[in-house]
Structure 1
């Protein structure tokens, strides 16, 4: 057990150091760079939604330097079929994620740390299991689909409930798709990422391809932009 415990501590330290480096890099991005990245990420996700025509999507409200922009939920909802639904997370006291329907910018309230949450009825932690597309935040993802979050474990719990065949996508800034990340047993992989420069990319030939997502796409813009 001591060797295992030492190895686990090394991984936790590596995660903290990597997390701090990534957050510092995001804070250093200019407003112009963030806005341009948000527009491109949104265009990719909108094109994906229009191709898949999902009945239920889960996403979140990006805050600060997170890619996608604060209006990402509105943009996604407008791209969905009229009878589809977009769910956003509601952080519970135990750090698990409940879910509620997004009804528009006026239906969001501040929930601390810059986070905004929907005010509608809570649908329960299992609501994510019925999603056809799950948009997930992360600081980085490696080429095996392993993601590095902010350390609370909320999305690891949520992703553990998501069926294997469901398309899970992480919006990233350029340079945040990396070769490898430190990983712990509870970490849950994702299937695809979207970055401003390279568009949609599935990871290790995951189920995203079966959902009609090409391994490398650049929907909604030309490669030269």
Structure 2
């Protein structure tokens, strides 16, 4: 028992260290680097999500409103909505699974200082049938294990989502292997500026 506990503790410590380094690396990126990554990722995602293999307009896509250091273009929800998708954005509260509201173009600052959609809360299961869930991450490995910011908000969402889950990261944030814990729910794909959307091992 104690052995298992120490292993779990060391996994937690390893994740904390990797999280700290990943956040520091993001803070060091230039605005130009971030802008270029955002533009490339937005094009990859638009091409992928509106491609012939994907369902027609009216499908649900779960997005999010990025922090300034994140490689997701904040205009992407608007572009997806214009393309005919129903875009849901997360509303976070401490200790709870993410709730969702439909993107309307309006946002406000939520509990965590992150931009959130304004509108009716649709419940935690609103994204269960989403075509794709875009997932923030700091690092993702070849098995789809992702290192988030440690709130655990997305694990419950991904556990209930039947569509694809696509982590959005910079090129150098795709790594061979991350320490995984039992409750970690892997993503099925990643998108990076340089390589576009890639399926991960074991996602069919």
The TM-score normalised by the length of structure 1 is 0.85
How many residues align? The count is 200
Cα deviation, 1:199-222, whole Å, max 9, x if unaligned, reads 111111624xxxxxxxxxxxxxxx
8 A Cα contact 2:93 2:111, kept in partner = no
1:174 deviates by 1.2
Match of 1:66 in 2: 70
Could you tell which deviates more after superposition, 68-77 or 55-64?
68-77
SS of corresponding position for 2:171: coil
For structure 2, list consecutive stretches of 5 or more residues without a partner in the other structure.
Answer: none
For structure 1, list consecutive stretches of 5 or more residues without a partner in the other structure.
Answer: 208-225
SS of corresponding position for 1:19: helix
Please tell me whether residue 95 in structure 1 is matched to residue 92 in structure 2.
no
1:162 deviates by 1.2
Match of 2:181 in 1: 184
In structure 2, what is the Cα distance between the partners aligned to 1:30 and 1:13? 29
8 A Cα contact 1:42 1:75, kept in partner = no
Task: Give RMSD over aligned pairs.
Answer: 1.3
In structure 2, what is the Cα distance between the partners aligned to 1:21 and 1:113? 21
SS of corresponding position for 2:101: strand
Cα deviation, 1:83-124, whole Å, max 9, x if unaligned, reads x310000113433101110011xx211114441111111111
8 A Cα contact 2:92 2:111, kept in partner = no
Match of 2:120 in 1: 121
Could you tell which deviates more after superposition, 20-29 or 89-98?
89-98
Match of 2:43 in 1: 43
Cα deviation, 1:33-87, whole Å, max 9, x if unaligned, reads 00000000000011112112361110100112111122232222223x2xx3100
Please tell me whether residue 193 in structure 1 is matched to residue 190 in structure 2.
yes
Could you tell which deviates more after superposition, 184-193 or 112-121?
112-121
In structure 2, what is the Cα distance between the partners aligned to 1:125 and 1:14? 30
In structure 2, what is the Cα distance between the partners aligned to 1:112 and 1:90? 9
Match of 1:221 in 2: none
The TM-score normalised by the length of structure 2 is 0.93
Cα deviation, 1:148-182, whole Å, max 9, x if unaligned, reads 1000000011111112xx21111110111100001
In structure 1, what is the Cα distance between the partners aligned to 2:13 and 2:82? 41
Match of 1:217 in 2: none
Please tell me whether residue 167 in structure 1 is matched to residue 168 in structure 2.
no
Please tell me whether residue 75 in structure 1 is matched to residue 76 in structure 2.
no
In structure 1, what is the Cα distance between the partners aligned to 2:113 and 2:27? 15
In structure 2, what is the Cα distance between the partners aligned to 1:130 and 1:148? 24
In structure 2, what is the Cα distance between the partners aligned to 1:196 and 1:71? 16
